[in-house]
């Protein structure tokens, strides 16, 4: 657990991302996401890393040990938090344009904030991409389904058995 003094939580994830990205990439890994989340009374700083082959706990531990002193020195977060370094997992959420590009052709599911014109809140299909205007397109059995990314609570990878 670390206890910072310098910044407010709103920009914590972006600040931490800038601090740890060079170290993560130095391990030959991709920085998938940084999340600063409250669960119950506790705050968690989650640094999600990825690579083409499966991650193991030794790699996550090595990255954690490497970035911990960087975060302690920079002290970017005001309150106490727990640092977690791990994989985004099989059900990883797509949050950035590069995620949509990297996972084009993958099976994904989206949960819409409000039902679409067909009354659905969940859309599943093969990711076709994210347009410059922020429209996500999935190809399903019913054809192409498009919706604004901002209209989705989440878009994430799904297992084969979740598709169609």
pLDDT tens column, 100-149: 999 999 999 999 999 988 899 999 999 999 999 999 999 998 899 999 99
- Judge whether 50 and 68 are in contact, CB under 8 Å: no
pLDDT grade for 164, boundaries at 50, 70 and 90: very low
Residue 29 clears pLDDT 50, i.e. is over it: yes
What pLDDT score does 161 carry?
Answer: 55
- The residues, ordered by sequence, that sit 6+ positions from 159 with a Cβ below 8 Å of its Cβ are 90, 91, 107
- Judge whether 37 and 46 are in contact, CB under 8 Å: yes
Give the global pTM.
0.79
CATH architecture of 2-86: 2-Layer Sandwich (3.30)
Rg of the chain over all Cα atoms, to the nearest angstrom: 18
Range 84-94 average pLDDT: 92
Residue 4 clears pLDDT 50, i.e. is over it: no
For residue 153, CA distances in Å to 6, 70, 129, 148 come to 31, 33, 17, 11
Residue 37 clears pLDDT 50, i.e. is over it: yes
Question: Hey, where are the domains in the chain?
Answer: 2-86, 97-162
Cα separation of 113 and 122, whole Å?
A: 9
Least confident of 18-32, 45-59, 91-105, 148-162: 148-162
Q: Look at 52 and 29; give whichever has higher pLDDT.
A: 29
Range 3-20 average pLDDT: 71
The residue length of the chain stands at 164
Residue 36's DSSP bridge partners are 45
Residue 1 clears pLDDT 70, i.e. is over it: no
Cα separation of 145 and 143, whole Å?
A: 6
What pLDDT score does 160 carry?
Answer: 61
pLDDT grade for 11, boundaries at 50, 70 and 90: confident
As a CATH number, domain 97-162 is: 2.30.30.100
């Amino acid at each position: 657990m670390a206890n910072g003094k310098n910044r407010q939580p709103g920009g914590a994830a972006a600040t931490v991302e800038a601090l740890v990205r060079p170290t993560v990439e130095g391990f030959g890994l991709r920085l998938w996401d940084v999340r600063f989340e409250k669960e119950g009374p506790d705050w968690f700083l989650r640094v999600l890393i990825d690579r083409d082959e499966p991650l193991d706990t030794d790699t996550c531990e090595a990255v954690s040990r490497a970035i911990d002193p960087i975060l302690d020195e920079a002290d970017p977060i005001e309150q106490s938090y727990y640092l977690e370094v791990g994989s985004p997992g099989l059900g990883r959420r797509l949050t950035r344009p590069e995620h949509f590009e990297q996972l084009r052709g993958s099976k994904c599911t989206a949960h819409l904030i409000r039902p679409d014109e067909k009354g659905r809140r969940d859309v599943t299909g093969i990711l076709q991409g994210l347009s410059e205007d922020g429209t996500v397109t999935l190809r399903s059995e019913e054809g192409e389904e498009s919706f604004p990314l901002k209209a989705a609570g989440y878009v994430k990878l799904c297992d084969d058995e979740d598709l169609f």
